[in-house]
Structure 1
Amino acid sequence: MAPTRLPDEIAAQLTDDILEGRLRPGQALNLNELAAALSVSRTPLREAIGQLASLGLVDVEPSRWTRVADITPESTADAAELAAHVGAAIAHAAVPRLASGTSDSTAPARALGDMSSHAHDATRLLLHTDAFLGELAKVGGRRHFARLWEGSRLMIRFHLGGSMPSSRLRDAPAQIARIGNALSARDAEGVATGIRALFVTPPGADPAAD
């Protein structure tokens, strides 16, 4: 295993601070103060900030300012739509591997059980949905899909404010059951449809009824 690089350690710490709310959306980041607080030099800190900018967690205007990204209604809607589409793509890639018998569904099924147990807790449901999609993306060694989710998940969690869309929470138990039934039947489109419906209103549904 490759040794952890200092910029990666700094990025991980700052990511935790952002997702846990210790660094707030829109908050200006003073690199001198951050470097002193973390007991690091500015060079690895700047590299770490670049990593967070690529994840959509930090906005940088060179020679002007660096700040935590803002959360807006538009960014929240975009994050939900991204989660829906990426999650559906993962389902379409993974479930055929399960159907062929070349992969084991134990880990995704366990994560789905955790989703069901916390279906009415928006914060925990998002965490367990993150874990479910991560496990599903690993099925059959689909490394590119695993990397796709890994590159999207933190931005999605941040811009969703750390919880599932409240408009979808009422239907979450039914959609989780739908995903479970489709997973057992090795129905890729059924799994994908259930994942999409966790994040966005299904086509043809009445948004006012959410």
Structure 2
Amino acid sequence: MEHARGRGIVSGRRLLADHVFRGIADEILAGRLPDGHILRDHEVARRLNVSRTPVREALMRLERIGLVEIEPSRFTRVTPVTDEVIDQHRELAGYAAGTAAHMAVRRMTDDELARAVDHAEAAADALGDPATASTARHALFSYLSAHSGNPAHHALMADIEVAITRALSRAPLRDVGIDDQRAEYDAIVGALRARDADRLERIIRAQHGISEGRT
């Protein structure tokens, strides 16, 4: 009984820390905590109505994925999104999404595959509106990650997708026209329906500006 109670306490603490992490991350993504904003754990704790412990845990987790920087005894602040940061996260997104898609297309059921196709077609239809297109693209790759059949990879993606979403919201994936982007989504749909994992991974990497010869 004591052991079970201990597990419950740890689980509850983890859920609270996850809630605080998500709350701070959402404020950063929404721009309510802009680049360079100084974060004080006691102020965040009061705003989120929690103790300072889960706030400190969340801030350390946010530091690991690059959303905040911590200088002990000096400051904790929201990191700036530079051109270099955007390039790094675009590359990370291309490799991570390509890997998830490669695993997912070989493991999804027919119904799950059909849903992935729906997501890809929705992303193509949203191309005229950058914000909607970004949301639809995120929904597609999140779906593929969730159906990759690899919980370890999906758990990793669940953390870093916050940083990727923030960086890629500041700039387009590549400077290409809507017709070319639509052609890429048509190719993604074709590779999904054919369950061609290698081709699907190549297309997604190319969509993020990663060429086949890049190492």
TM over 0.5: yes
Q: How does 1:19-34 map to 2 (within 5 A)?
A: 19-34=29-44
Counterpart of 1:23, as a letter, is L
The worse-fitting range, judged by mean Cα deviation, of 88-97 and 10-19 is 88-97
Contact kept, 8 Å, 2:174 with 2:209, in 1: the verdict is no
Partner of 2:137: 129
> Once the 2 structures are TM-superposed, how far is the Cα of residue 93 of structure 1 from its aligned partner?
1.5
CA contact (8 A) 1:19 1:162 kept: no
Q: Could you say which residue in structure 2 is the equivalent of 1:17?
A: 27
Question: Under a length normalisation based on structure 2, what TM-score does the superposition of the two structures give?
Answer: 0.82
Q: 1:178 aligns with which of 187, 194, 201?
A: 187
Q: Spell out the pairing of 1:89-168 with structure 2 (5 A cutoff).
A: 89-98=99-108, 104-139=112-147, 141-161=149-169, 164-165=172-173, 167-168=175-176
CA-based RMSD of the aligned residues comes to 2.5
> 1:33-67: CA deviations, max 9, x gaps?
32333333322211121222222211111111101
Q: Percent identity?
A: 31
Measured after TM superposition, the shift of residue 193 of structure 1 is 2.1
Among 38, 45, 59, the alignment partner of 1:49 is 59
The residue that corresponds to 2:5 in the other structure is none
Quote the residue 1:196 is aligned against. 205
The amino acid across from 1:122 in the alignment is P
Deviation (angstroms), 1:128: 1.7
Instruction: Return the letter of the residue paired with 2:29.
Output: L
| Structure 1 residue 6, shift from structure 2 partner | 2.5
C-alpha displacement of 1:163: 5.6
CA deviation digits over 1:140-170, x for unaligned, max 9? 6322232232132111111123564252464
Cα 1:66–1:144, aligned 2, differ >3 Å: closer, same or farther?
Answer: same
Give the TM-score, by structure 1 length: 0.84
How far apart, in 2, do the equivalents of 1:142 and 1:103 lie? 19
- Letter paired with 1:130: H
Q: Secondary structure at the match of 2:35?
A: coil
Equivalent pairs counted in the alignment come to 202
Contact kept? 2:100, 2:148, Cα under 8 Å: no
